[in-house]
Amino acid sequence: MRNLTIRTMLLFLLLVFFQSGASAQEPPVKNIIFMIGDGMGLTQTYSAMLRAERPLAFERAQYIGLSKTYSANNRVTDSAASGTAMATGHKTYNGAIGVDTDKKPVENIAERARKKGLATGIVVTKDITDATPAAFMSHQPSRKMAEEIASDIASSGVDLFIGGGRNRFEQRKDGIDLTDRLRKQGYEIAYTLDEVKNVNSGKLAGLLAPGHMKKMTEGRGDYLPEATAQALSILKNNSPKGFFLMVEGSQIDSGGHANDAEVVISETLDFDKAIAVAFDFADRNPGTLVVVTADHETGGLTIPSNKSDFTLGESGIQHLFSTKGHTGVMVPVYAYGAGARNFSTIMENTDLPKKMAALLGLPQ
């Protein structure tokens, strides 16, 4: 009788095991949220963790990898070359926007996603024509060609873009008002976050500042997590097939260039709030993958010993910078949701869009 009871228990445990394995099977990837912390290395994220009084969303990541950031012509990349690498899967020269080393346009993942009927969007905390967002919507030989990049964005077909840079569209040297072109294509033009929140579906051009948006230390508030949440809602409504959204915490880089630890930490904490929005969306929407990384590290930030007792307060942590420029170190990759296990290795930055495109089943 005892042996029968043991066998019954074993059979029950095996049944539970197989049922849990079947229920845990991942759905195919339908939505991708690609999040880029401009200038965000490991020290930037760890500094934010030390400052925070709560566990950060970064710490929810299910898989962690590393990305090599060098460009085609320099071991230390700029945002344009790295943005292009992460948008197109092609290494290129510093300063290039969506073109290869021969200055020929190369298709980006957002363009490929639209071919499959997916909705696409971009949300940033700087000028929307800045290097990283431009790499997902434009093809120009130089990142300095801001008005040409704005013209490309206005013709890109992206469902939505939200950030600063209004003057690139309305106060141009050529006298063209690109918002007129956008309206003719069916875009709602939003000039405030409240106006962004009033759009539930369709096309949206959010131009919320004349140039770069304010830094967190200047009072930007919860724009990034709230704009991210609204973008996710709009894109989900726009296409039943799924979507691709790129979100950039743009001004972590600004703090690095200025060697201002307070800007770095406040911007990284703000970016983490947007990551929490993305992870929560993935929890509610099976088939969503969130990939968080950086284009490069900025400032050579370190946390040296200050020979005092370890405390979590600001006074107990010293931050030192080694440069006002970028560095050539690898940057972290945090992945969450469907397909996340594919990002737990050391990768070229060009591998990121290739892996994401494969998971979405995008045409070559």
- Summarised one tens digit per residue, pLDDT across range 275-304 is 999 999 999 999 999 999 999 999 999 998
Q: Phi and psi for 97 in degrees, rounded to 5?
A: -120, 105
Q: How many CA atoms lie less than 13 Å away from 300 in the CB half-sphere?
A: 10
pLDDT at 12 over 80: no
Q: Is 67 helix (H, G, I), strand (E, B) or coil?
A: strand
Q: pLDDT at position 22, please? A: 38
Active site residue 79: yes
Q: Which helix (H) or strand (E) holds 153?
A: helix 146-154
> Rounded distance, CA 225 to CA 68, Å?
27
Q: In which band, very low, low, confident or very high, does the pLDDT at 305 lie, cut at 50, 70 and 90?
A: confident
Q: pLDDT at position 351, please? A: 98
pTM confidence score: 0.92
| Domain boundaries of the chain, sorted by first residue | 48-243+278-296+308-330
Query: What are residue 246's DSSP bridge partners?
Result: 34, 122
Place of tokens 């051009």: 205
Q: What is the mean pLDDT of residues 5-28?
A: 58
Annotated catalytic residue: which of 67, 71, 79, 250? Answer: 79
Q: pLDDT at position 8, please? A: 56
Q: pLDDT at position 175, please? A: 95
Q: Which fold is adopted by the domain 48-243+278-296+308-330?
A: Alkaline Phosphatase, subunit A (3.40.720)
Strands 331-337 and 288-293: antiparallel
pLDDT at 235 over 80: yes
Phi-psi region of 164 (alpha: psi -120 to 50; beta: other; left: phi over 0): beta
Q: What is the mean pLDDT of residues 209-219?
A: 97
Q: In which band, very low, low, confident or very high, does the pLDDT at 23 lie, cut at 50, 70 and 90?
A: very low
Q: Phi and psi for 267 in degrees, rounded to 5?
A: -70, -35
Cβ–Cβ < 8 Å for 95, 134: no
Q: pLDDT at position 67, please? A: 98
Tens of pLDDT, residue by residue over 250-276, are 999 999 999 999 999 999 999 999 999
